[in-house]
Amino acid sequence: MDIYDLNEFLKLSAILHYQLSAEEVGRRNILNVMLGQKPFPDEHRKVLGQVLAYLDKAYGYRSRSLGPVAVLHPIRASVLMSKIQGEPCFLDLLTILLHDKLEDLTPKAMGQKQWEESEKQFQEIMDSLHPALREQLKQRLDLLTREEEMGETYNQYVGRLLDMPTNQKELVRVKLADRLDNTLDM
């Protein structure tokens, strides 16, 4: 898929939306779209499937301000990033799928009861990860969260991402896939 091709992006959206709207969500099919024919360890596929289930339940039927169902955004962004990477990185895929978690999946947005249920599911996923990977993912999600309550503007946020140490430069790739999906969604 050419990333800049709007027709391909719309086809991708339609395919993923169809899989999400099926009576039983086609997570295996979504993973196949995300990873293509690239080899990927079964244990990583299993965790990614659990993350997709978590996102599906956590976002529910909520829509984004731009119109489509909210869960479509992290999935499409992960597909875009995976297509760019050549060989997808497990940590990068987890990061892009969960990049909006701390901003979008809050008690205020979801309601306290649904949030508590979702947090339990999220914690089970985190507990299944190797401790070093879990720490890296937590750190990445924190870094990718804009600190609006601290008065951080969007430009300051992007500047903070670009000024990160070289061991976190992968986050720029994640942010670019996020922005590309947002832009194409318009």
Instruction: Return per-residue pLDDT of the chain as tens, 186 residues.
Output: 455 666 777 777 777 777 776 656 678 888 888 888 788 899 999 999 999 999 999 988 887 776 678 888 899 899 888 887 778 899 999 999 999 998 889 898 889 999 999 999 999 999 999 999 999 999 999 888 887 778 888 888 878 877 776 657 678 788 888 888 877 766
What letter does residue 32 receive in the DSSP assignment?
Answer: H
pLDDT at 6: 67
pTM assigned to the model: 0.84
Percent of residues in the chain assigned helix, strand, coil, to nearest 5? 70, 0, 25
Dig out the tokens for 13 from the structure.
């959206």
Question: What b/e string do you get for 58-83 counting C-beta neighbours within 10 Å, with b at 16 or more?
Answer: bbeeeeeeeeebbbbbbbbbbbbbbb
